[in-house]
Amino acid sequence: MEPIRVETEFAGRKLIIETGKLALQASGSVTVQYGDTVVFAAATMSSQVRGDMDFFPLTVDYEEKFYASGKINGSRFIKREGRPSDNAVLTSRLIDRAIRPLFPKNLRNDVQIICSVLSADGETDPAMVAMLAASAAMMVGGLPFEGPIAGMAIGLKDDKFIVSPTYLEEAEGILSLFVAGTSEHIMMVEAGANEVSEEKMIEAFALAQENMKPLVKLQEELIKKVKPEKLEDFELSELGNETINIGDDTFRIIKLKDEVDNYVTETMLDDVIFSNEKKDYAKNLEALYAATIDKFASVEEFPKASLRAAIDNLLKYRLRKHILENDKRPDGRNPKEIRPITCEVGLLPRTHGSAVFKRGETQALTIATLASKGAGQMVEDMDMSFTRYYMHHYNFPPYSAGETRPLRSPGRREIGHGYLAERALKPMIPDIMDFPYTIRVVTEIMASSGSTSQAAVCGSTLSLMDAGVPIKRPVSGIAMGLVIDQESGNYKVLSDIKDLEDFGGDMDFKVAGTSEGITALQMDIKVKGLSLEILKNALAQAKEGRAHILGEMLKVLDKPRSELSQNAPRAISMQVRPDQIREVIGSGGKVINGIIDETGVDIDIDDDGKIFIYAKDQESADKAQKIVQQITYQFTPGEIFEGNVVKIITSADGKEIGAIVERFPGKDGMVHISEFANRRIEKISEVCKIGDKLKVKVIDVDPVRGRVSLSHKATLDRESSVPARKPAPKKG
């Protein structure tokens, strides 16, 4: 096969898609070049059906290769790329969430998408290129994928939208939005923002959708040239191939005989759906499973898994019917109603900040910890290096869902939820130079019944305020759901969805923000795209819900505490000249280590001369600051101070010509004999001697040699004669 390529100009750079050149054993493979960024994608579908699966086995991997940006990473001993970075995990999730709804739900062949960054220009995020490459690879490979799709990044700076912004433009702006979809519908949304309004966000969605169209069109041009054959060596699960009647309705289900129609009644389904609590739901569902399996145990072609799947689908159908036709949700709420909320702060005695946020049966315990600037996390990604001074980590232990399973390191879900909560609060976190602390927030999900990530957002706000972190404004979050009848177009947007509504619904739209605007978004759907109208209504309804949730939170703690937690380290920041850093550090670190040993503090020094002192108590911090001030002290002409006479200077013939007066150790100047009094004196001992305190004024500082000239008489009235000497204090 000869290589085939298509190209176009997009947002000021050339965009090229090429296939038939690399990885020809894969079902489909392409390289996409955008400017100097190149991403390779391979899409492969197995020929074997995974009969033991009750879901579509799709895996997406986004690989960051350090060679792409001309870097060799790792320690002295390890140079191979290790586990995926958080950014790689998040990008993998981004692609997965966009493409999964466009495969047949009952496909049981393994599908694997691997996107590898081969060249990175260091200016723009390769995520858009990777999304395009994944879609094109699936299309040219003939996979059963209802694409093509495209992804689009949108920024907002100075009230102007930027299509495909650079890293710098994103950093300087107030919006980092990524939207994926077809030419007609939006499939996935991910955003971080600095209080952007709902109206502005919808404008950004529309702009993204419009700019995705030429990328979809370019893929269609490629497909026409390739003329791929559709893969046919796969089977769809039989789930949904036959029909049974439930009440007055019909529903496609798995090979059930007529007897099931009379057995699984509306009442039996409603008893499960309208269970009071999650434990009751699980108990009632298991009872329905058991009764149905027992009823049809003698029918050989009825495997237990098939009966369970059948009942699950009946429950979904019944749940959706209640919501669409009666506005009736499992717990009796109307579509806009929020579950009961309770909050508590300051419950852990030795942590810096702690809070419990409970909404319905979902419960999150969040803890905030403050540390020195030096505790920031150094991050080296493929195309950038930086330090994180604010981070949020999210844990989802098995007991939170009433399950038992081995504890493992955080998975993609935990990383994704943690990052979402971090984005939601980040615009409200004070700058490291104004609040010189590294902040780590950890959310432990105690109980899960829907929207744990947004419980983490709310818990983070409360724990940060409990710790005394001066956040700009409090943030709340909500998860919005959707039930839509694709044939009629009838739909209902649901506020604060619980897990059963997520299971049976069509959308999980997480929205976080302050009273002034949105700070984070994340949307996943199960249908083949949503319109801007639905998203607009969902954002408007989410705004109402967020306001209600925030009001409940502020009843417990309405602003950051006026003082830091007594357990948090005390911080002092001070500025010195960059050339004075070596004085503070000293030869081999002798000076700075001496300060640390004497006071028990931690000290961080930036290259620009910013010094941060951290101590367990204010007294130690003040002591260390005083020492640094003394080390970096610079004399200023006109300054008056009282110092110690440490030396008398004599000439070669033995005459006294001056005295050295010390302000701080190593910081002194000379008073010439002519500067001691308003009259001529023969000996300095007429005014002072070694060990005395002497009031002096700085009259000159030599900028080259650093010599300091002092005057005592400049501190006296012109009529004054030589004052009486102040004796040195007696020792002991």
pLDDT band at 102 (very low <50, low <70, confident <90, very high): very high
Segment 313-368, tens digit of pLDDT: 888 889 999 999 999 999 999 999 999 999 999 999 999 999 999 999 999 999 99
Say if residues 191 and 521 touch (Cβ distance below 8 Å).
yes
User: Would you list the domain boundaries of the chain?
Assistant: 4-226, 242-291+300-321, 341-554, 570-631, 640-715
Structure tokens at 604: 């961080």
pLDDT at residue 263 in the model? 78
Domain 341-554 has CATH 3.30.230.70: yes
3-state secondary structure 566-592: CCCCEEEEEECCHHHHHHHHCHHHHHH
Q: How far is CA 456 from CA 218, 303, 389, 556, in A?
A: 41, 40, 19, 16
Give, in degrees to the nearest 5, the angle at Cα 335 between 333 and 341: 55
pLDDT at residue 730 in the model? 57
The Cα–Cα gap between 693 and 729 comes to: 9
pLDDT at residue 433 in the model? 87
> Does residue 654 register a pLDDT over 90?
no
pLDDT band at 718 (very low <50, low <70, confident <90, very high): low
> Does residue 245 register a pLDDT over 70?
no
CA proximity to 531, closest of 146, 183, 184: 184
pLDDT at residue 254 in the model? 46
Q: CATH homologous superfamily for 4-226?
A: GHMP Kinase, N-terminal domain (3.30.230.70)
3-state secondary structure 357-408: EEECCEEEEEEEEEECHHHCEEEECCCCEEEECEEEEEECCHHHHCCCCCCC
Contacts 24+ apart (CB under 8 A), 396-405: 396/445, 396/448, 396/452, 397/444, 397/445, 400/445, 400/446, 400/447, 400/448, 400/452, 401/448, 402/278, 402/279, 402/282
Please tell me whether residue 464 adopts helix, strand or coil conformation.
helix
Which CATH class for the 640-715 domain?
mainly beta
Pairing of strands 28-34, 37-49: antiparallel
* Amino acid letter, 658: G
The Cα–Cα gap between 130 and 148 comes to: 13
Mean pLDDT, the chain, integer: 90
Segment 446-499, tens digit of pLDDT: 999 989 999 999 999 999 999 999 999 999 999 999 999 888 889 999 999 999
> Does residue 258 register a pLDDT over 70?
no
Give yes or no on whether 4-226 and 570-631 have one common fold: no
> Which one is predicted more confidently, 599 or 236?
599
Domain 570-631 has CATH 2.60.40.1240: no
Residue 547 gets which letter from DSSP? H
> Does residue 727 register a pLDDT over 60?
no
pLDDT at residue 381 in the model? 84
Structure tokens at 168: 């710098």
Please tell me whether residue 241 adopts helix, strand or coil conformation.
coil
pTM: 0.86
